[in-house]
Amino acid sequence: MLLTWRRWRRGRPFWGGLAAVVAGAEICAIPLAPLKIMLQQGIAGIPSVLMGLVMIVMGLSAWFAPHYRGLAGVLTVLCAAAALVMSNLGGFLIGTVIGILGGSMIFAWQPVAPPAPENPAAPEAVAEPGSAPEAVAGPAPSEP
């Protein structure tokens, strides 16, 4: 069970997606907090909730559809930066910073190629230093 979890986690941008989900939840939660904590109330809460939901969806898409990591990373960073202006200083700066870090981790993640199986029956040709490589493609020259 633990090995399956590790294999799943390593096959996708897990930590970037987790940071995006946490940042989106934090940005969503601020407008829903009691009025004493809020900096702005009213219609300004709608963009906060929408940006937070987009960040949560992008974090989940990084987990479950890692081939969309480029789009998810860029949209997460853009929403986190927009939340700085539109959503109570981006969730008191915490949501913006975590969202930018998570989006950049999602965008920068690269899948690891599985190692090629070794075939002992077919040894590879090793070229000696100073020797010219052989021509690989093209027809063999014919003599007149």
pLDDT value at residue 29: 84
pLDDT value at residue 139: 60
What does the pLDDT look like over 19-33, one tens digit per residue? 999 999 998 887 777
Tell me if 61 sits within 8 A of 72, measured CB to CB: yes
What does the pLDDT look like over 65-76, one tens digit per residue? 999 999 999 999
Please report which confidence band the pLDDT of residue 55 belongs to, taking 50, 70 and 90 as the band edges.
very high
d(CA 72, CA 88): 23
pLDDT value at residue 118: 78
End-to-end CA distance of the chain: 69
- Helix, strand, coil share of the chain (percent; to 5): 60, 0, 40
Integer angstrom CA distances of residue 84 from 10, 39, 77:
31, 13, 11
Rg (C-alpha) for the chain, rounded Å, is: 25
d(CA 84, CA 87): 6
